[in-house]
């Protein structure tokens, strides 16, 4: 590495999907601070508008587009519009995602398919849309937001775990298939992060105690806390920058040490 400029994203266009708030917003904000031009999408205009305002409040001029990442025609149209209005996408962060917490035998096939569609099929669709221009440009970076559930199962998240496990292998396959074009595809596997998606797992109980799952995660995390979306910014900037040009097919777990820890003995 020549110098710290290797971590710079100056002159890069970064598309972060589903980034009006939450982890996507934090990753996009960190990339903006590293010099990237930020493009994001969300499924509703009102959320795109809210996102643009939130980025402006953070001093970031972001470009927002309304697009359902599951709709291949809409994604292809959005990418073409971004290339025309902003520039070729150098960095793609497949962040948009949903979860449905339902015991598997009670889950409808339609619900299962919807989670697979957003969390696995959509990253395929968006990556497929951006790779041709990355090849023409001489390279690019793809970061897929995986999960602890790319490695572990737990009750009620069968569809999500299947999707995120598949996303881990899609990440490795894109790395394998397009590495020769100087495209690096890696994943970030966040631990348990305090966002709207995990709010139900952190609800204070009627008696004022912490949610049992909240207590469980605190016991399982050496850091003794839930992650903040901002904890993912640095790892994302690293994987988006030239500093990681020989890192490919990695799932970087940003989990406060959950993977390494058997868990604190209950008091
Ligand atoms: P979140 O708060 O629920 O935000 C998800 C974002 O994705 C929202 O902006 C949502 O927009 C957007 N989205 C959902 N479906 C979409 C679609 N079809 N097209 C376009 N945008 C869509 O989730 P988060 O906690 O920030 O998580 C972001 C990513 O990290 C997800 O992939 C999640 O699986 C993953 N992750 C989260 C955690 C965690 O602990 N929070 C840990 C590991 C991995 P709408 O509001 O319009 O639906
Ligand atoms: C759950 C949580 C997790 C997190 C994340 C952990 O219900 O277990 O929502 O799945 O979202 O994926 O890495």
Question: What was the pLDDT predicted at 132?
Answer: 98
Q: How many residues does the chain have?
A: 267
Among residues 185, 101, 171, which one has the least CA distance to residue 141? 185
Region at 42 (left for phi over 0; alpha for psi -120 to 50; beta for the rest): beta
Percent of the chain with pLDDT over 90: 97
Predicted TM-score (pTM) of the model is: 0.98
Question: What was the pLDDT predicted at 180?
Answer: 98
Q: Is the CB of 75 under 6 A from ligand 1?
A: no
Q: Is the CB of 150 under 6 A from ligand 1?
A: no
Structure confidence by residue, pLDDT tens digits, 141-197:
999 999 999 999 999 999 999 999 999 999 999 999 999 999 999 999 999 999 999
Closest ligand 2 atom, residue 189 Cα: 13
What is the rounded CA–CA span in Å between residue 17 and residue 24? 7
Question: What was the pLDDT predicted at 254?
Answer: 98
Per-residue pLDDT at 2 exceeds 80: no
| Cα 240 to ligand 1 centre (Å) | 19
Question: What was the pLDDT predicted at 267?
Answer: 80
Nearest ligand for residue 195 CA: 1
What is the rounded CA–CA span in Å between residue 55 and residue 21? 9
Question: What was the pLDDT predicted at 1?
Answer: 67
84, 66 Cβ separation under 8 angstroms: no
Ligand 1 pocket mutation, candidates 48, 96, 118, criterion most atoms within 8 A of CB: 96
Catalytic residue (choose from 21, 55, 65, 160): 160
Q: What are phi and psi of 253, to 5 degrees?
A: -85, 125
What is the rounded CA–CA span in Å between residue 24 and residue 145? 9
Give the chain's mean pLDDT.
Answer: 97
Residue range 124-139: mean pLDDT, rounded = 98
Structure confidence by residue, pLDDT tens digits, 201-241:
999 999 999 999 999 999 999 999 999 999 999 999 999 99
HEC sequence for the chain: CCCHHHHCCCCCEEEEECCCCHHHHHHHHHHHHCCCEEEEEECCHHHHHHHHHHHHHCCCCCEEEECCCCCHHHHHHHHHHHHHHCCCCCEEEECCCCCCCCCHHHCCHHHHHHHHHHHHHHHHHHHHHHHHHHHHHCCEEEEEECCHHHCCCCCCCHHHHHHHHHHHHHHHHHHHHHHHHCEEEEEEEECCECCHHHHHHHCCCCCCCCCHHHHHHHHHCCCCCCECHHHHHHHHHHHHCHHHCCCCCCEEEECCCHHHCCCCCCC
Question: What was the pLDDT predicted at 266?
Answer: 82
Per-residue pLDDT at 65 exceeds 90: yes
Per-residue pLDDT at 63 exceeds 80: yes
Minimum CA distance residue for ligand 2 atom 4: 192
Residue range 28-42: mean pLDDT, rounded = 98
Question: What was the pLDDT predicted at 37?
Answer: 98
pLDDT band at 79 (very low <50, low <70, confident <90, very high): very high
Per-residue pLDDT at 8 exceeds 80: yes
Structure confidence by residue, pLDDT tens digits, 100-131:
999 999 999 999 999 999 999 999 999 999 99
Specify whether 192 is catalytic.
Answer: no
| Cα 5 to ligand 1 centre (Å) | 31
Ligand 1 pocket mutation, candidates 18, 65, 151, criterion most atoms within 8 A of CB: 18
Q: Is the CB of 30 under 6 A from ligand 2?
A: no
């Amino acid at each position: 590495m020549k110098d710290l400029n290797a971590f710079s994203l100056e002159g890069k266009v970064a598309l972060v999907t589903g980034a009006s708030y939450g982890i996507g917003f934090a990753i996009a904000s960190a990339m903006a601070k590293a010099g990237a031009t930020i493009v994001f999408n969300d499924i509703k205009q009102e959320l795109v508008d809210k996102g643009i305002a939130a980025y402006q409040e953070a001093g970031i001029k972001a470009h927002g587009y309304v697009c359902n990442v599951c709709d291949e025609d809409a994604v292809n149209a959005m990418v073409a519009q971004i290339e025309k209005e902003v520039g070729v996408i150098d960095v793609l962060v497949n962040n948009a995602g949903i979860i449905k917490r339902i015991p598997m035998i009670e889950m409808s096939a339609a619900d299962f398919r919807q989670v697979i569609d957003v969390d696995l099929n959509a990253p395929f669709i968006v990556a497929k849309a951006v790779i041709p221009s990355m090849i023409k440009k001489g390279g690019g970076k793809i970061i897929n937001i995986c999960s602890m559930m790319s490695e572990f199962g737990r009750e009620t998240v069968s569809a999500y775990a299947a999707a995120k496990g598949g996303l881990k292998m899609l990440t490795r396959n894109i790395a394998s298939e397009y590495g020769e074009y100087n495209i690096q595809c890696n994943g970030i596997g966040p631990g348990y992060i305090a966002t709207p998606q995990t709010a139900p797992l952190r609800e204070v109980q009627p008696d004022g105690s912490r949610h049992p799952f909240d207590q469980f995660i605190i016991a399982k995390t050496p850091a003794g806390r839930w992650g903040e979306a901002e904890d993912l910014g640095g790892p994302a900037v690293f994987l988006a920058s030239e500093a990681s040009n020989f890192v490919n097919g990695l799932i970087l777990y940003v989990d406060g040490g959950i993977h390494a820890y058997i868990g604190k003995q209950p008091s």
